[in-house]
Structure 1
């Protein structure tokens, strides 16, 4: 394996649990309740534009009314307030990633400015800079493979030489569509008991539930693939 591509939200930082809580609470307050597992599977990992379009359709169907003009501003304000107070590194991320032998980068659905802010905020940006790739760089975000293919080209790696570390269904779908190997990562507090099974069902090759196992998994995963075996 030549390159390990890390998602950010829910893989490097705990932002997914923050977003999930803020969004579901706000949606319930306006009469558009979602079951958390279904919401995660449908919306987590999407690019902002895809998330907005899909969420608008779902909310309008649930409420029978068009979105208020400040709908997304309200969600953003709540989420940003909580991120500033609660954002943190996923435990053992730095210590594990610093030991990984492959090239590494970040590929996230988060817009570039917010992505760099998150990594800077938790003290992980130096592990990846300047190899930090945002959905802003491509026309179609996850679950389309565009971002991962852009990253592979930028990092001079063939798709089959890449391992993607993802916590979302949409990210797993994107990684497999790009022809890459995918580790489903379930260490985040937002991941429910059966989240690994869901990621496997959508194409993840293996599941890792804590960073302490991540480095060894990448090494053995790559060795198995290089020998022509199944992950």
Structure 2
């Protein structure tokens, strides 16, 4: 569960002070990143960009769509001398949405964990508001979070800026430094740290590779958990 070498007594003591938990959505609550990554790699390959999966995960996962297109376009231009093109990006996005409707599932134990934490909870995602709500509804998670669902449309700047986590903490009525953020991307961890929150890396999504925990802790995560059902114990200060 938590990386033993990171879940030291000081870390556990800090996590025990949590008064609220804020979840990222994609790759943490719903197993969408696996679908996104597979589709995006296929489209980038068709555009002439051959990229290793681990490199792709480090560079692109966690970016909002407004940042993802220019990042992908720049990478394709550098590799091929040709633009990716907005039409190709929009086709890729439509295919991702179609796959979500057919295949999206909650990450194992996400529902049960959200209920078991015993703390106020919220979702803060770089997704747009409509798409975020749909993902939570399709997977049965929406009722658990009620009105505390926040998207990139609610703030001026997407992650890795701290805006979303500051906004979510303010809505919960809990200071950011008393919030634990559960994140699966370095972009998201940086956003949590910039907001002054405690970040825990989640490595249980279908897209996770062996280097994910190292990338998350390098970005500032205090510990990593590979299963949702380990989070309640971790936040109670039990690393066993």
**Same fold, TM-score > 0.5, yes or no:** yes
Counterpart selection for 1:171 from 169, 188, 203: 188
1:183 aligns with 2:190: no
Structure 1 residue aligned with 2:49:
32
Q: Which structure is higher in RCO with an 8 Å CA cutoff and minimum separation 6?
A: 2
Deviations 1:32-87 (A, max 9, x none): 12211111111111122111222221122222012334112211122122112210
In structure 2, C-alpha distance between the alignment counterparts of 1:12 and 1:143, rounded to whole Å: 19
Alpha-carbon offset, residue 219 of structure 1: 2.3
In structure 2, C-alpha distance between the alignment counterparts of 1:191 and 1:163, rounded to whole Å: 21
Structure 2 residue aligned with 1:113:
130
In structure 2, C-alpha distance between the alignment counterparts of 1:128 and 1:156, rounded to whole Å: 15
1:57 aligns with 2:74: yes
Alignment map for 1:193-212 (pairs within 5 Å): 193-212=210-229
In structure 2, C-alpha distance between the alignment counterparts of 1:57 and 1:13, rounded to whole Å: 29
Counterpart selection for 1:156 from 173, 191, 195: 173
In structure 2, C-alpha distance between the alignment counterparts of 1:77 and 1:152, rounded to whole Å: 32
Unaligned regions of 5+ residues in structure 1, if any?
A: 225-231
1:103 aligns with 2:120: yes
In structure 1, C-alpha distance between the alignment counterparts of 2:102 and 2:129, rounded to whole Å: 21
Mean alpha-carbon deviation: is it higher for 202-211 or for 45-54?
45-54
Secondary structure at the aligned position of 2:236 is classed as helix
Counterpart selection for 2:33 from 16, 19, 32: 16
Structure 1 residue aligned with 2:63:
46
Runs of 4+ in 1 over 4 A off after TM superposition: none
Structure 2 residue aligned with 1:132:
149
Secondary structure at the aligned position of 1:142 is classed as coil
Cα-Cα RMSD = 1.4
In structure 2, C-alpha distance between the alignment counterparts of 1:94 and 1:41, rounded to whole Å: 27
In structure 2, C-alpha distance between the alignment counterparts of 1:140 and 1:67, rounded to whole Å: 24
Deviations 1:136-168 (A, max 9, x none): 111111111111111111221111110000000
In structure 1, C-alpha distance between the alignment counterparts of 2:236 and 2:27, rounded to whole Å: 22
How many residues align? The count is 222
Secondary structure at the aligned position of 2:67 is classed as helix
Alpha-carbon offset, residue 194 of structure 1: 2.1
> Retained in 1: the 8 A contact 2:23–2:122?
yes
In structure 2, C-alpha distance between the alignment counterparts of 1:69 and 1:204, rounded to whole Å: 34
Structure 2 residue aligned with 1:122:
139
Unaligned regions of 5+ residues in structure 2, if any?
A: 1-17
Structure 2 residue aligned with 1:229:
none
Structure 1 residue aligned with 2:13:
none
In structure 2, C-alpha distance between the alignment counterparts of 1:193 and 1:35, rounded to whole Å: 14
